[in-house]
Amino acid sequence: MEPKTISQTPITLAELKEEIAKIKQREKEPSIRITRMEEYINSFAEISPEAGKELHAAIAKLTINRLKEEHICKIVDMLPKTPNELKVVLQGYGISLTNDASGKIIERVNETLAKK
pLDDT, position 110? 94
3-state SS, one letter per residue, for 28-74: CCCCHHHHHHHHHHHHHCCCCHHHHHHHHHHHHHCCCCCCCHHHHHH
Rounded CA-CA distance 116/24 in Å is 26
pLDDT, position 47? 86
The helix or strand, by DSSP H or E, that contains position 99, with its residue range, turns out to be helix 99-115
pTM comes to: 0.84
Q: Give the pLDDT confidence of 9-57 residue by residue, as tens digits.
A: 899 898 888 889 898 898 888 888 888 988 988 888 888 888 989 999 9
pLDDT, position 76? 94
Q: Report the residue count for the chain.
A: 116
pLDDT, position 94? 86
Contact, 72 vs 78, CB < 8 A?
Answer: no
| Segment 58-81 mean pLDDT | 93
pLDDT, position 115? 82
pLDDT-derived band of residue 100, with 50, 70 and 90 as boundaries?
very high
Contact, 97 vs 63, CB < 8 A?
Answer: no
| Segment 79-88 mean pLDDT | 94
Q: Residue 57 half-sphere exposure, CB side, CA atoms within 13 Å? A: 6
Its CATH architecture, for the domain 50-115, is Orthogonal Bundle (1.10)
Rounded CA-CA distance 80/74 in Å is 10
Close Cβ partners of 59 (under 8 Å, ≥ 6 residues apart): 67, 72, 75, 76, 105, 108
Instruction: For CATH 1.10.150, list the domain ranges present in the chain.
Output: 50-115
